[in-house]
A and B are shown apart, each in its own frame.
Chain A
Amino acid sequence: MTAILSRSDAEDLLYREAALLDEGAWDEWLSLYTEDALFWMPAWRDENTPTSDPQSELSLIYYEGRRGLEDRVFRARSGQSVASHPRPRCLHCISNVRLIESADNSAEVASAFTVFLHDVRADRTHHFFGRYRHTLRHEEGLWRIARKHILLLNDTIPTVVDFYSI
């Protein structure tokens, strides 16, 4: 049995991921990822070039495996991180979804994102925007995220950026 991803399947998954992040349904969000998922937001080498080798160059976030993301969720919920509480209100808007590659049980999807973040404590709004690349794998009857590459275009970070605001 093989599965082929359509663009509307891809959109469904991306929009669902966005909604789970925005709603704070982070256990469900984690379940979208494969056990060995790679989660990567590079830094920038210079004005126009993001870092491309996470072993020898710095990233903003880089985890090999879903457990790294589980750590982040644990911290955000721990009640022991002043940056994480009160939780900012976030809205992910995803567009420009393109199916880059679609094969049996695997696919690559490109998209654009904007995240609006309202920091309730400081009464200010930030936004983050950039491009996603999702590598999807069909596993146990479901499409899961095996790799997510987040290219943050406005990388002068206003105080905090976390997994839920990118």
Chain B
Amino acid sequence: MTIDLAGLIDDRPEDGVFRVDRAIFREPGIFDLEMRHIFEGGWVFLGLASQASAPHDFFTTHAGRVPVLITRDGDGQLHAFVNSCPHKGAQVAQTRAGNARLHVCPYHSWTFDSAGRNRGLKWQRAGCYSVAFNDGDHGLTPLPCFEEYRGFLFGSLVAAVPTLAEHLGGAARFLDFVVGQPDAGLELVPGAVTFTYDANWKLQLENCSDAYHFTSTHPSYVKIMERRQKGEGAVVVRSIWEQSQSWREDAEGIQGGSYSFEYGHVLNWGRIVPADTHPLYDHAEAIAARHGEAGRDWIFNMRNLTIFPNLQIAENASSQLRVIQPLDVGRTLMRTWCIAPKAESGTARHQRIRQYEDFFNPSGMATPDDTVAYESCQRGHASRVDPWLQGYARGMTASREGGNSLSEAIGAAPMRSVLADSQLCDETLYHNYYREWARRMAAAA
């Protein structure tokens, strides 16, 4: 089958039309191209520097389908390698994380130090190798690009990419708010949670930015919050949603909106007033001192940030870092962590963890309603009768070029922005995903 990639995104702003063909969620051929040109053809998020904080610490991850090993060498320098022995291809690091001066390949014992240099090639002298072989490099293969932004590690399997600073652009301002709460840095709360769903990775990509689904998909969660407010449910698990207006249909005025940045990154947000159910409440003054009052308000707002294509940070009832790992056109693996400021008090951490479990876990009371809905969409995407999805039209007349007063107040410079009341629920922010998708996939055409 030949795929007309350019014909899959119907993007005609002058006609007020933006439509996406269901085929992009369904076709294995498209998935293969996405892996090559998006996940294995540009910047992807790999992990946090704090996952390898001491000399010789390491952790393993993926860039697209490729296994990756991140190490910190004896001098404190971070490295990213393809986690595959140059000899026969086996993974030299077997575990998710650890500390090792030397990584010994379990297959033929080729040995590498934490800077990736080959420190031992078993029986080399007896090996009757050619001069050409002996003169070659037998170290681990570094990723062509590997950079850090404030503890967030990104890599690319191809060299021809913009610098990380250019890639992140204005979206970096919103990563700053993730790290600076208030200033002691960020850590992953012990206990990673992994789940799969049988649907395309872009359903997760979109859902994180989807304000429209909340009251439809999660009414049971909202009801639980109401029960708890009335003292009928679990009392220890209070939620920030008690103070939020953004999911209430009758809330008035500006309740949120969206920003779109170059290279496909988006932020959607909802207004949340600082309240004692927020784990950061005790730090509100320190945060204002560091980030200004506008910055403080942004930090307390519900914010869902996507760094295209695989990193999503959701800060609302708690704070989640998600990594999207596509497994197949109809199957996706999600690696998720609760992220928290290192300096947080025990009480605040407890509050953050309890809210996280109820809202974000696949064993909780919200995420399963999302993932089951993705699977339902995936089944629906079998249809070719009318291939065009109509889910990209809300906010079309509200979207404007550049930012607004709220982004200016914190010096963020988005390409496009939308200010929304509680019912607008912008869908134009997805345009940014699919314009970047189309730009990257154009290389395949």
Say whether A34 faces chain B, with CB atoms less than 8 Å apart: no
User: Contact mask A126-157 → B, CB, 8 Å, 1/0?
Assistant: 00000000000000000000000000000111
Say whether A102 faces chain B, with CB atoms less than 8 Å apart: no
Say whether B12 faces chain A, with CB atoms less than 8 Å apart: no
A62 touches B357 (CB 8 A): yes
A58 touches B191 (CB 8 A): yes
- Looking at chain B's contact residues, the main secondary structure is mixed
| Neighbouring B residues of A62 by C-beta, 8 Å | 353-354, 357
B235 touches A45 (CB 8 A): no
User: Contact mask B226-267 → A, CB, 8 Å, 1/0?
Assistant: 011000111111000000000000000000000000000000
| Neighbouring B residues of A46 by C-beta, 8 Å | 95-97
B191 touches A44 (CB 8 A): yes
Partner of A65, one of B224, B234, B338: B234
B220 touches A78 (CB 8 A): yes
Say whether A93 faces chain B, with CB atoms less than 8 Å apart: no
A48 to chain B, nearest CB (A): 9
Among B191, B219, B221, B346, chain A packs the most CB atoms within 10 A around the CB of B191
A83 touches B361 (CB 8 A): no
Partner of B220, one of A44, A63, A70, A75: A75
A157 touches B362 (CB 8 A): yes
| Neighbouring A residues of B373 by C-beta, 8 Å | 82
Among B223, B333, B357, chain A packs the most CB atoms within 10 A around the CB of B357
Partner of A55, one of B197, B350, B357: B350
Counting residue pairs across A and B whose Cβ atoms lie within 8 Å, the total is 147
B422 to chain A, nearest CB (A): 19
Say whether B196 faces chain A, with CB atoms less than 8 Å apart: yes
> Residue on A with the closest CB to B349?
A56
Q: Which of B16-24, B141-149, B279-287, B363-371 lies at the interface?
A: B363-371
Partner of A80, one of B198, B219, B236: B219
User: Contact mask B4-24 → A, CB, 8 Å, 1/0?
Assistant: 000000000000000000000
Q: Which of A4-12, A16-24, A107-115, A158-166 lies at the interface?
A: A158-166
Interface of B toward A, CB cutoff 8 Å: 95-97, 189-198, 217, 219-221, 223-224, 227-228, 232-237, 333, 337-338, 346, 349-350, 353-354, 356-357, 361-365, 368-369, 371-373, 375-376
Given A71-B233, A81-B220, 19 other A-B residues pairs in contact with their CB atoms under 8 A: A43-B191, A47-B96, A55-B353, A56-B349, A57-B191, A62-B357, A65-B234, A67-B234, A74-B224, A75-B220, A80-B223, A83-B371, A83-B372, A122-B375, A124-B198, A156-B194, A157-B193, A157-B195, A160-B362
Interface of A toward B, CB cutoff 8 Å: 41-47, 51, 54-65, 67-68, 70-72, 74-75, 78, 80-84, 122, 124, 155-162, 166
